């Protein structure tokens, strides 16, 4: 039973090491795959960190996920494409859920869900793998859109670098509670509370070059709450 439990734990959780251990407020740390995957699936922008010519670089990028693999793409001559192939990268995704307004600046904070992952970026060479990765990215941003439009042309594929990052280590950190209060005199007379923050989707704005009568596609309708 012990061996079976350990194997299940290894499947459900990422291992904890000096690379991904949460040191500040460790009680907020989550290493289970379910939490990590959920935050990644809800996010839209990943900040990808790598080293280029001896300097740290961070680039915000769209992404897609397939199990423990993150897909990225960029222009073939872009820095993320020329500097990262085979090299270590770190990827962060953050969801801000609220501003925590305390009675002092020191105690003020945010409610958030954040993930940091570590792995190596490897360029995908095979056409089928590249298309699968691009589909994952497209479906992450706007589910259903891939099947509504043509596949990338050969020229578009030639100019695009597609990277896969296997998650070697990951941790999530979550704060989801109210105000922490200090004990300085007079603080009790200062307002405190939480300002919730949420992301909303507005109505689609049609491009002026779209001919009259072209219907809004189902992927956009669903994204905008129409079904």
What is this structure's pTM?
A: 0.90
Q: What percent of the chain has pLDDT over 90?
A: 82
The confidence score (pLDDT) of residue 10 equals 62
Smallest CA-to-CA distance from 138 within 122, 128, 149 is with 149
**3-class secondary-structure state, position 187:** helix
| Mean of the per-residue pLDDT values of the chain | 92
Residues 6+ apart with CB under 8 A from 66: 132, 133, 136
**Residue 99 contacts residue 197 (beta carbons within 8 Å):** yes
Does residue 2 carry a pLDDT above 60? no
Q: Report residue 5's pLDDT band, with 50, 70 and 90 as the boundaries.
A: very low
Does residue 114 carry a pLDDT above 60? yes
**Residue 114 contacts residue 120 (beta carbons within 8 Å):** no
Average pLDDT over residues 98-117: 95
The confidence score (pLDDT) of residue 9 equals 62
* Main-chain phi, psi angles of 160, to 5 degrees: -120, 130
Find the angle CA(65)-CA(71)-CA(76) to the nearest 5 degrees: 160
Quote the distance between the C-alpha of residue 17 and its chain's center.
Answer: 21
The confidence score (pLDDT) of residue 217 equals 96
Residues 6+ apart with CB under 8 A from 77: none
Does residue 60 carry a pLDDT above 70? yes
CATH number at residue 96: 2.30.110.10
The confidence score (pLDDT) of residue 4 equals 43
Average pLDDT over residues 150-157: 95
Q: Supply the range of the domain harboring residue 38.
A: 2-223
Alpha-carbon distance values, 156 to 76, 77, 153, 192 (Å) = 10, 13, 5, 52
The confidence score (pLDDT) of residue 209 equals 96
Smallest CA-to-CA distance from 95 within 39, 139, 138, 146 is with 39
Q: What's the total number of domains in the chain?
A: 1
Average pLDDT over residues 38-56: 96
Does residue 3 carry a pLDDT above 60? no
Distance CA 72, CA 53 (A): 21
Quote the distance between the C-alpha of residue 167 and its chain's center.
Answer: 13
Q: Rounded to a whole number, what is the distance in angstroms from the first to the last CA of the chain? A: 46
Alpha-carbon distance values, 56 to 27, 59, 226 (Å) = 29, 10, 43
Average pLDDT over residues 167-186: 89
Least confident of 5-9, 86-90, 180-184, 200-204: 5-9
């Amino acid at each position: 039973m012990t061996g079976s439990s350990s194997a299940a734990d290894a499947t459900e959780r990422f291992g904890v090491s000096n690379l991904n251990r949460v040191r500040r407020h460790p009680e907020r740390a989550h290493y289970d795959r379910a939490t990590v995957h959920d935050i990644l699936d809800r996010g839209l922008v990943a900040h990808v960190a790598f080293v280029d010519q001896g300097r740290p670089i961070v680039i915000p990028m769209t992404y897609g996920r397939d199990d423990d693999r993150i897909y990225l793409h960029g222009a073939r001559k872009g820095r993320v494409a020329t500097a990262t192939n085979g090299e270590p990268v770190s990827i962060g995704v953050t969801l801000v859920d609220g501003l925590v307004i305390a009675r002092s600046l020191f105690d003020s904070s945010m409610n958030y869900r954040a993930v940091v992952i570590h792995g190596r970026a490897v360029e995908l060479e095979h056409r089928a793998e590249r298309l699968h990765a691009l589909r994952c990215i497209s479906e992450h941003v706007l589910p259903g859109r891939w099947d509504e439009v043509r596949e990338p042309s050969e020229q578009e594929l030639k100019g695009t670098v597609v990277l896969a990052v296997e998650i070697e280590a990951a941790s999530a950190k979550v704060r989801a509670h109210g105000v922490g209060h200090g004990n300085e005199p007079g603080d009790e007379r200062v307002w405190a509370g939480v300002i919730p923050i949420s992301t909303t989707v507005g109505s689609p704005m049609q491009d002026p070059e779209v001919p009259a009568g072209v219907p809004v596609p189902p992927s956009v309708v669903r994204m905008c709450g129409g079904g």
